[in-house]
Amino acid sequence: MSVGKSCLLLQFTDKRFQPVHDLTIGVEFGARMITIDGKQIKLQIWDTAGQEAFRSITRSYYRGAAGALLVYDITRRETFNHLTTWLEDARQHSNSNMVIMLIGNKSDLDSRREVKKEEGEAFAREHGLVFMETSARTAANVEEAFINTAKEIYEKIQEGVFDINNEANGIKIGQQHSPTNPSLPGQSQGGQTGGGCC
């Protein structure tokens, strides 16, 4: 039973919901093109396994991520309680400038809610995160969750926090190799880890 990271990704990339999902092994990938500030940006999303067994492997993947979505399940308090360790793990093994968004998923199951929205907001405030409640089933806030994270990464690039020439930041300048828009100048690619907890 997971918090729904792969479902969120599927909803974001394919705009569909798949109630039964294979258990993620290691990491899976999803990608989508979005437009921010008139610029085409390809989001490459790394959907990491939430299982404890893969924890050592998923740590390897934090490095080089520009942003992360830290996901818990509002219907299960223990997933909220685990946030601290996941956050520490992510912060320890990633770029210190990594944008982290806190996601309370399964907002459609409000009747089974165990974690209040205010608790999530308080946690986000305390740790300097952006907070949002989503539903992969209804697609509520799914677009916003990913696009807001991308926007924040983009702002950091504009501010010069991220060195776009350093690929270790998870950002690559596009090589204009897409045949559909060959004249686009500043196409960038933001690597994101859809981090989560079980």
Partner 1 sequence: MSSSDSEAFESADEDVIESKTSTKKVEALSVKSSDDDVNKANIKSTNPIPRRRSPEPLLESEHVAETVIKANIDNKRSPDLELDDNEPTDLLSTNTSLKDVDGSRIEKKDSKKSMNSSCEFIEVESTVKAEVSAEDDWEFDKWDDDINEEIEELVAKSTVSKDNDAIQPKLANKSVEDHVEKMSDEDGWQIDDWDDESTTIESSEVFSSKTDSTTSETGISNVLDKLSSSKTSETSSGWGWTPWGGVVQLISSATSHVSQVIESGIGVPDPEEIARLQHQEKLKNPDREVESDTRKDDKSMMLENLMSGVSHIGNRVISGGLDTLEGIGKKTMTILQENDPGLLNKRKMLGMVDKDAPILSQILREAKEKTEEAEQSLKEIQKQRYKKQLHFETLFDDYHGLVHLEALEMLSQQSAIKLKALMSPLSGLALSELEETLNEVKELCELPEMDNEDSDGLHTIEELSDKFKASVEDLDVTVDFKEIIQCWSDNISWLENETTKSAQDIHDKALRCLAQTSAISINKMHKLAELLLIKEHHSTADEADSLVQITTVICWHLSGIASRFGNSLSQMESKEDVNSLITSIFLEGSNSTSYVQNAFQLFIPILQMGAA
Binding site for partner 1 (CB under 8 A): 25-27, 29, 31, 44, 46, 53-54, 56-57, 60-61, 63-64, 177-179
Tokens of 133: 């409640």
Tell me which amino acid residue 186 is: G
Q: Which CB atom, from 16 or from 29, has the smaller least distance to partner 1? A: 29
Q: Which CB atom, from 95 or from 107, has the smaller least distance to partner 1? A: 95
CB of 22 to partner 1, least distance (A): 12
Rounded Cα–Cα distance for residues 164 and 148 (Å): 19
Nearest to 80 by CA among 111, 103, 47: 103
CB of 25 to partner 1, least distance (A): 6
Q: Give the torsion sign (CA, 137, 91, 43, 146).
A: positive
Nearest to 101 by CA among 78, 79, 75, 83: 83
CB of 18 to partner 1, least distance (A): 18
Q: Which CB atom, from 81 or from 176, has the smaller least distance to partner 1? A: 176
CB of 167 to partner 1, least distance (A): 10
Q: Give the torsion sign (CA, 155, 156, 157, 159).
A: positive
CB of 12 to partner 1, least distance (A): 15
Q: Which CB atom, from 128 or from 179, has the smaller least distance to partner 1? A: 179
Q: Which CB atom, from 107 or from 188, has the smaller least distance to partner 1? A: 188
CB half-sphere exposure, 97, CA atoms < 13 A: 18
| Residue 30 near residue 10 (C-beta atoms within 8 A) | yes
